[in-house]
Structure 1
Amino acid sequence: MNNEQFISTAVLKAKEGKRVALQQALLQLINPTRSEPGCLYYILFEDKNNTGTFYMHEAFQDKAAFDHHIQTPHFKNFAGQMDDLMAEPIRLIELAQVSGK
């Protein structure tokens, strides 16, 4: 089993007129996700030059911790809102660290 950290950035684009609602839904994920076992960080950004495009930069202890995250009630609640809030499906970019800290 691979115990390597799971690091990714999720790209989330709001539908026209849904920017604030998507931002609020994403902010509601922060505290419960940060409390999950195996969550190392979970940070929300918005593209300054492309308002309504959000980036959730996240790291989990391993892929199993990430898999647990997407099965939690708070994430499933968010997933149930995605069709209404998002212009396109989440794009998850998995990252591998290549430099030191």
Structure 2
Amino acid sequence: MTDEQFLSTAVLKAKEGKRTALKEALLQLINPTRSEPGCLYYILFEDKNNAGTFYMREAFKDTAAFEFHTQTAHFKNFASQMDELMSEPIQLVELVKVSDME
């Protein structure tokens, strides 16, 4: 459904020796993505016990907004660096909200 929020966590694993470069490339996505009209949140985490494994928690108002995100210049720039920086393709875990925060 395009009227449901698009919620996901992207798992991004750095190649050996590329942790800092991947982190910097991901950080460069934050502000432009948050400025996209359909972005609700876009938050980067690193696995505390597994350095170089990053998680991007993202929410967009709908699937169309997420698809718009994947076509932006900033995302395409990041995508052009993935083979160099990442040990495996992005794992995108799509989520469905089943409870409130409270």
Which of the five TM-score ranges fits, normalised by the shorter chain? Answer: over 0.9
Partner of 1:64: 64
1:85 Cα deviation (Å)? Answer: 0.1
1:91 Cα deviation (Å)? Answer: 0.1
Partner of 1:95: 95
SS in 1 for 2:49: coil
SS in 2 for 1:59: strand
Q: Using the alignment, how far apart are the partners of 1:46 and 1:63 within structure 2?
A: 25
Q: Using the alignment, how far apart are the partners of 1:20 and 1:2 within structure 2?
A: 36
1:2 Cα deviation (Å)? Answer: 2.9
SS in 2 for 1:2: coil
RMSD: 0.7
Q: Using the alignment, how far apart are the partners of 2:64 and 2:38 within structure 1?
A: 9
| Runs of 4+ off more than 6 Å | none
Could you tell me the percent identity over the aligned residues?
77
Partner of 2:47: 47
Partner of 1:34: 34
Partner of 1:2: 2
Q: Paired residues, what number?
A: 101
Q: Using the alignment, how far apart are the partners of 2:2 and 2:65 within structure 1?
A: 12
Query: What runs of 5+ residues in structure 1 fail to find an aligned partner?
Result: none
Q: Using the alignment, how far apart are the partners of 2:2 and 2:93 within structure 1?
A: 18
Decide whether the 8 Å contact of 2:44 with 2:54 is kept in 1.
yes
Q: Using the alignment, how far apart are the partners of 2:27 and 2:19 within structure 1?
A: 12
Q: AA paired with 2:66?
A: F
TM-score (norm 1): 0.98
Partner of 1:80: 80
